[in-house]
């Protein structure tokens, strides 16, 4: 439909504004939230998965879970069109719990079949501070007989850059539980490089907006190079997102970036398709 096309175009252009954001109580917005409430727990919401690939080794180091919504009328709706909405409502918590349930089941299916790639789950800021999150994860991991590093949480830069993040009980509980944290979308905003050192993260994901301009913009090249250097000097792993071309992958490899993620390696795909993809790479 036209609406779905509009949504897809918006998501792809990276503009990430929902059409009805102008009006918080617009019928559009309320409709979408209502639809989302019905969709949670049903079959309209699925997770796609996208590999993170070692730039030198070619080894698959993890798989990121990305939400997809097959809306009965609008067609495929991308997360940038409903997650910001959900985040402003009580629905986000339910949505995250649903994502965690599905992602953990998938992680267990892979893990116990010998495909030992950690599944990275995106959590929003508020989820991270939710005191129930560590218990939820711990219970799920135990039930599925998974080690804590069979999953990973990706959290955006913004929240981890606030004082709240390293004083929050939930964050300490997650660290105790041993679930690795990745700092998502690094470089996009509130970065304070000094703080990076104090955060309980093991991985830094360089935002695709910088990565995509490698080879085109000297400034972005300098930014990415300095992030890669800094991340390495702190003993953390760097992962570049949004790698679309061989040229960019080569450039990142030359910079010493650890891993890449993007269409050049593999688009986000259904669990079944990713399983085949992993198999072909003799991961199992």
Residues 202-241 touching Ca ion, rule: CB under 5 A, are 205, 207, 241
CB burial readout 18-32, b (16+ within 10 A) else e: bebeeeeeeebbeeb
- Distance separating alpha carbons of residues 282 and 266, to the nearest angstrom: 16
**Backbone torsions φ then ψ of 155, nearest 5 degrees:** -125, 135
In 144-217, alpha helices (H): 157-160, 163-167, 169-177, 193-196, 208-211
Residues 179-218 touching ligand C2E, rule: CB under 6 A, are 184-185, 208
Q: Per rule CB under 6 A, is residue 140 in the interface with ligand C2E?
A: no
One symbol per residue from 141 to 180: x for binding ligand C2E (CB under 6 A), - otherwise; what is it? -------------x--------------------------
Contact of 134 with 169, CB cutoff 8 Å: no
CA distances from 207 to 2, 262, 283 (A): 29, 11, 27
Q: Per rule CB under 5 A, is residue 154 in the interface with Ca ion?
A: yes
Shortest distance in whole angstroms from residue 128 CB to Ca ion: 13
Instruction: Tell the residue number behind the tokens 């964050």, with chain if given.
Output: 171
Q: Per rule CB under 6 A, is residue 26 in the interface with ligand C2E?
A: no
**Backbone torsions φ then ψ of 96, nearest 5 degrees:** -65, -40
Q: Which is nearer to Ca ion, 26 or 209 (CB)?
A: 209
Instruction: Tell the residue number behind the tokens 């490089």, with chain if given.
Output: 193
Q: Per rule CB under 6 A, is residue 243 in the interface with ligand C2E?
A: yes
Q: Which is nearer to Ca ion, 29 or 49 (CB)?
A: 49
Instruction: Tell the residue number behind the tokens 């590999």, with chain if given.
Output: 51
Q: Per rule CB under 6 A, is residue 83 in the interface with ligand C2E?
A: yes
Return the range that interacts with Ca ion (CB under 5 A); candidates 15-23, 98-106, 120-128, 218-226.
Answer: 120-128
Size of the site for ligand C2E (CB under 6 A): 24
Return the range that interacts with ligand C2E (CB under 6 A); candidates 20-28, 191-199, 249-257, 260-268.
Answer: 260-268
Q: Per rule CB under 5 A, is residue 122 in the interface with Ca ion?
A: yes
Instruction: Tell the residue number behind the tokens 């660290």, with chain if given.
Output: 175
Contact of 140 with 171, CB cutoff 8 Å: no
Residue ranges in contact with ligand C2E by CB under 6 A: 11, 50, 65-67, 78-80, 83, 99, 122-124, 154, 184-185, 208, 241-244, 262-263, 268
Contact positions vs Ca ion (CB under 5 A): 122, 154, 184-185, 205, 207, 241
């Amino acid at each position: 439909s036209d609406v779905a096309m509009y949504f897809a175009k918006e998501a792809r252009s990276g503009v990430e504004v929902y059409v009805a954001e102008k009006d918080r109580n617009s019928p559009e917005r309320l409709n979408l939230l209502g639809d989302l409430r019905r969709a949670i727990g049903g079959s309209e919401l699925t997770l796609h998965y996208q590999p993170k690939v070692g730039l030198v080794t070619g080894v698959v180091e993890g798989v990121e879970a990305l939400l997809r919504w097959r809306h009965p009328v609008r067609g495929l709706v991308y997360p940038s069109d409903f997650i910001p909405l959900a985040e402003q409502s009580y629905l986000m918590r339910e949505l995250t719990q649903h994502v965690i349930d599905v992602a953990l089941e998938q992680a267990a299916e892979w893990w116990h079949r010998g495909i030992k790639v950690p599944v990275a789950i995106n959590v929003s800021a508020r989820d991270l501070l939710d005191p129930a999150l560590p218990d939820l994860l711990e219970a799920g991991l135990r039930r599925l007989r998974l080690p804590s590093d069979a999953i990973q949480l990706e959290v955006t830069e913004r929240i981890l850059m606030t004082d709240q993040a390293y004083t929050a009980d939930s964050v300490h509980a997650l660290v105790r539980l041993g679930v690795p944290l990745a700092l998502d979308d690094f470089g996009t905003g509130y970065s304070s490089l000094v703080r990076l050192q104090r955060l309980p993260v093991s991985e830094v994901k360089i935002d695709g907006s910088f990565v995509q301009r490698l080879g085109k913009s000297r400034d972005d090249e300098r930014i990415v190079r300095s992030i890669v250097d800094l991340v390495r000097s702190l003993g953390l792993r760097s992962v570049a997102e949004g790698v679309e071309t061989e040229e960019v992958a080569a450039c990142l490899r030359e910079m010493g970036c650890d891993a890449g993620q993007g269409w050049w390696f593999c688009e986000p795909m259904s669990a079944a398709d990713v399983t085949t993809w992993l198999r072909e790479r003799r991961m199992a």
